[in-house]
Amino acid sequence: METKTKVNNRITQLFQQKKAGVLNIYFTAGFPNLEDTAQIIKSLEVAGADMVEIGMPFSDPLADGPTIQQSNEAALRNGMNMKKLFEQLKDIRKEVKIPLLLMGYLNPVMQYGVEDFCKKANELGVDGIILPDLPIEEYIETYKGLFESYNLSNIFLVAPNTSAERLKKIDQNSSGFIYIVSTDSTTGNTKDITQAEGYFKKIQSSGLNNPTLIGFNINDHKSFNFACNYANGAIIGSAFIKALKEAKELKGSISNFVSSIKKS
Residues annotated as catalytic are 53, 64
Q: What is the CA 217 to chain-centroid distance, rounded?
A: 14
In the list 39, 122, 162, 225, the residue contacting other proteins (rule: CB under 8 A) is 162
Give the contact letters, 233-262, x = binds to other proteins (CB under 8 A), - = no. ------------------------------
Establish if 79 lies at the interface with other proteins (CB under 8 A).
no
Establish if 209 lies at the interface with other proteins (CB under 8 A).
no
Give the contact letters, 127-156, x = binds to other proteins (CB under 8 A), - = no. -----xxxx--x-----------------x
* Angle in degrees, CA 45, 51, 52, rounded to 5: 85
Establish if 69 lies at the interface with other proteins (CB under 8 A).
yes
In the list 166, 202, 245, 251, the residue contacting other proteins (rule: CB under 8 A) is 166
Running DSSP on this structure, what letter comes out for residue 209?
S
Q: For residue 187, give the nearest of 233, 237, 261 by alpha carbon.
A: 237
Residue type, 40: I
Give the contact letters, 179-198, x = binds to other proteins (CB under 8 A), - = no. --x--xxx--x---------
Q: Sort strands 157-158 and 153-154 into parallel, antiparallel or unpaired.
A: unpaired
Closer to other proteins by CB, 109 or 218: give it. 109
Establish if 106 lies at the interface with other proteins (CB under 8 A).
yes
Establish if 115 lies at the interface with other proteins (CB under 8 A).
no
Closer to other proteins by CB, 172 or 255: give it. 172
Closer to other proteins by CB, 25 or 82: give it. 82
Establish if 161 lies at the interface with other proteins (CB under 8 A).
yes
Establish if 126 lies at the interface with other proteins (CB under 8 A).
no
**Contacting residues for 90 by C-beta, under 8 A, at least 6 apart:** 124
Establish if 73 lies at the interface with other proteins (CB under 8 A).
yes
Q: How many residues does the chain have?
A: 264
Beta strands in 66-114 (DSSP E): 100-103
Query: Is the separation of the CB atoms in 15 and 211 below 8 Å?
Result: yes
Least Cβ distance, residue 124 to other proteins (angstroms): 18
* Angle in degrees, CA 178, 181, 186, rounded to 5: 140
Phi/psi for 172 (5° steps) reads -65, -25
Closer to other proteins by CB, 46 or 106: give it. 106
Distance CA 200, CA 214 (A): 9
Residue type, 15: F
**Contacting residues for 133 by C-beta, under 8 A, at least 6 apart:** 62, 63, 105, 106
Point out which residues bind other proteins (CB under 8 A): 58-60, 62-65, 69, 73, 76, 81-83, 105-112, 132-135, 138, 156-159, 161-163, 166, 181, 184-186, 189
